[in-house]
Each structure stands twice: as structure tokens, then as C-alpha cells.
């Protein structure tokens, strides 16, 4: 580590001049060796936390859907766990299904596909699971120099389905709102409970995640040259709204994901009788 006035500092980028015709080409002073770097901050914090969060989320979801799929909702105003919502089996009155089947098995491929092909998620898994690289200015494992990164090619071409996953995600999202409204029916009366608010907040965060999506933004603004009059001004308004929140897409990604699991733990706890769900009913 180099020191200046008693303080550590990173070596500045050196201008090499480059080959003829490539003026301004810069060689980064990247030291070789997995995890080696001249960065002086705690650069490993973020990728380590992201890897832990995604790992726990995947293991928890697998266990909950396959092994611990009891108590996915509680009566009498039927609050359904976000992992199993929309509860399509209940929604479409499907009763003649195998005993081991649940709604999450039928619909989870959509949120998984949507999140898995998300532009922000690509950055996350390249940094956490592939170490390609773990962070800016940090050397990657030797094997990754052989594999390299060639963009959305080979198996990664699957990412191009993201816009189609968006359309499916919008359908799933609207069905989630149906589940929220369902929690407001109490034996013929209307009302709401803490469970209603939790599901509504989860749906709101998911809405913001969808609205701030790059593909959603392109859907409303990508094919238009101008927003002037009629339906195009509405498209322009949506585009600007989406653009504003697109800058915080990572925030919506993580908060909406966390709320799925917090909501599930709440529903599980109420269904198992560990806590109660205070409600307000209008008579």
C-alpha cells in the first residue's frame, strides 16, 4: 500500500498513450491474483452481503415450498403468504390436484424468471456467484480470465426474455392485489388487519420494482420520438416516472425481496398461533 502524508491511497490510473489510433487508452493498475486489489475500502462487504442474502433467500424458499408448505395462509379473512401468493389453486377453485402440489410450485418460475433476468440482478450474480469480478478494480480468479465475459451470449442469451417476463410479472402483480383485497372480506363485512397492511406493502414494493424496471421504462418511452398530445403524453409521463425510480432500482429489488420473506414469516407465525393479527372490521 502506498502512503501519502501518512495516509494510504490508491495508485492513480496511468495514461499509457496506447497504440497508434487509440489515444487516451488507459491501463488500470490492477494487481494479479484472485481478490488482490489496491483498493483501500471494505470492497468485499457488499458482495458478501448480497451473496448471503440471495443464498438464504433461495434455501428458505426451497424449504418452505417443498418441505414446510403447511400454514401458507390463515382464516377467517384468508391472508396468504407472499411466497404462495397469488394462490392460484384457491383463486381458480382447483381442488383435484396432487396433495403435494401448492400454488408456489405453479407460479414461482415467473418471479424467479423476472428477477433472474433483471439487469441489476445480472450485476449481482456476476459479482457474487461468478466473481467476475467481485468488485471494481479487484482481480478475478484465474479461471475467469479463460472464460472471460462476452456479453449476453451462449447460455446468457436467456436474459433476452426479460421483457416477456415483465409482461408475466405484471399479471402476477395484479393477482397479488386481488389477494390483498381478499384479506378485507370478513364473513360478509369489510375491514382490514395487520396482515392486510403487510401484504399491501409487499405489493407496493413489488410494484415499484416493476415500474422502475428498464424494460418497463422502454415499453413506454423506447419506441416514441416525442410525447406530444393524446396517448403519447401519458406514455411520456409514465416514462419519466419510471426513469426517476429506475435510479433506485436496486433499492426496490432488495426491499421487495426482503418483504416477501418478512411477510411469509408473519403469516406463518399467525397461522401457527405464535402471534395474533389485530384487525379492524366495519359493521
Q: What are the CA-CA distances from residue 260 to residues 34, 51, 66, 228, 267 (Å)? A: 35, 18, 17, 39, 11
Give the shortest CB-179-to-ligand FES separation in angstroms. 21
Residue ranges in contact with ligand FES by CB under 6 A = 118-120, 162, 213-215, 249
Rounded-to-integer distance, Cα 233 and Cα 236, Å? 5
Give the shortest CB-247-to-ligand FES separation in angstroms. 12
Give the shortest CB-55-to-ligand FES separation in angstroms. 20
Give the shortest CB-213-to-ligand FES separation in angstroms. 3
Q: Note whether 160 and 152 are within 8 A (CB).
A: yes
Q: Which is nearer to ligand FES, 79 or 259 (CB)?
A: 259
Q: Which is nearer to ligand FES, 61 or 246 (CB)?
A: 246
Give the shortest CB-219-to-ligand FES separation in angstroms. 10
Q: For residue 80, report the phi and psi dihedrals to the nearest 5 degrees.
A: -105, 140
Give the shortest CB-181-to-ligand FES separation in angstroms. 25
Q: Which is nearer to ligand FES, 72 or 206 (CB)?
A: 206
Give the shortest CB-162-to-ligand FES separation in angstroms. 6
Q: Which is nearer to ligand FES, 9 or 129 (CB)?
A: 129
The grid cell for 278 is 389485530
Q: Give the residue among 54, 66, 275, 85 at the shortest CA–CA distance from 199.
A: 85
Contacts of 30-38 with C-beta under 8 Å, sequence gap 24+, read: 30/137, 30/139, 31/139, 32/139, 33/139, 34/131, 34/139, 34/140, 34/141, 34/142, 35/134, 35/138, 35/139, 36/138, 36/139, 37/135, 37/137, 37/138, 37/139, 38/1, 38/10, 38/11, 38/137
Q: Which is nearer to ligand FES, 25 or 119 (CB)?
A: 119
Q: Which is nearer to ligand FES, 117 or 131 (CB)?
A: 117
Q: Which is nearer to ligand FES, 192 or 216 (CB)?
A: 216
- What's the start-to-end Cα distance of the chain, in Å? 71
Amino acid at each position: 500500500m502506498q502512503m501519502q502524508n501518512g495516509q494510504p491511497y490508491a495508485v492513480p490510473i496511468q495514461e499509457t498513450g496506447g497504440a497508434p489510433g487509440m489515444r487516451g487508452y488507459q491501463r488500470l493498475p490492477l494487481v494479479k491474483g484472485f481478490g488482490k486489489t489496491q483498493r483501500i475500502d471494505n470492497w468485499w462487504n457488499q458482495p458478501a452481503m448480497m451473496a448471503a442474502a440471495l443464498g438464504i433467500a433461495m434455501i428458505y424458499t426451497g424449504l418452505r415450498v417443498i418441505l414446510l408448505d403447511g400454514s401458507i395462509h390463515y382464516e377467517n379473512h384468508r391472508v396468504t403468504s407472499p411466497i404462495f401468493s397469488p394462490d392460484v389453486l384457491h383463486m381458480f377453485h382447483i381442488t383435484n390436484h396432487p396433495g403435494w402440489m401448492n400454488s408456489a410450485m405453479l407460479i414461482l418460475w415467473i418471479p424467479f424468471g423476472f428477477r433472474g433476468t433483471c439487469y441489476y440482478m445480472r450485476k449481482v450474480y456476476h459479482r457474487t456467484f461468478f466473481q467476475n469480478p467481485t468488485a471494481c478494480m479487484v482481480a478475478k480468479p484465474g479461471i475467469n480470465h479463460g472464460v472471460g465475459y462476452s456479453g449476453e451470449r451462449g447460455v446468457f442469451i436467456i436474459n433476452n426474455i426479460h421483457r416477456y417476463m415483465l409482461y408475466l410479472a405484471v399479471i402476477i402483480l395484479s393477482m397479488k392485489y386481488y389477494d390483498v383485497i381478499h384479506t378485507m372480506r370478513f364473513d360478509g363485512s369489510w375491514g382490514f388487519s395487520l396482515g392486510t397492511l403487510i401484504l399491501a406493502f409487499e405489493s407496493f414494493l413489488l410494484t415499484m420494482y416493476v415500474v422502475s424496471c428498464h424494460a418497463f421504462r422502454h415499453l413506454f418511452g423506447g419506441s416514441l420520438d416525442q410525447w406530444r398530445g393524446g396517448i403519447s403524453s401519458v406514455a411520456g409521463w409514465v416514462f419519466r416516472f419510471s426513469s426517476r425510480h429506475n435510479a433506485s432500482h436496486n433499492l426496490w429489488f432488495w426491499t421487495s425481496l426482503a418483504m416477501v420473506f418478512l411477510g411469509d414469516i408473519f403469516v406463518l407465525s399467525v397461522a401457527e398461533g405464535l402471534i395474533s393479527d389485530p384487525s379492524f372490521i366495519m359493521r
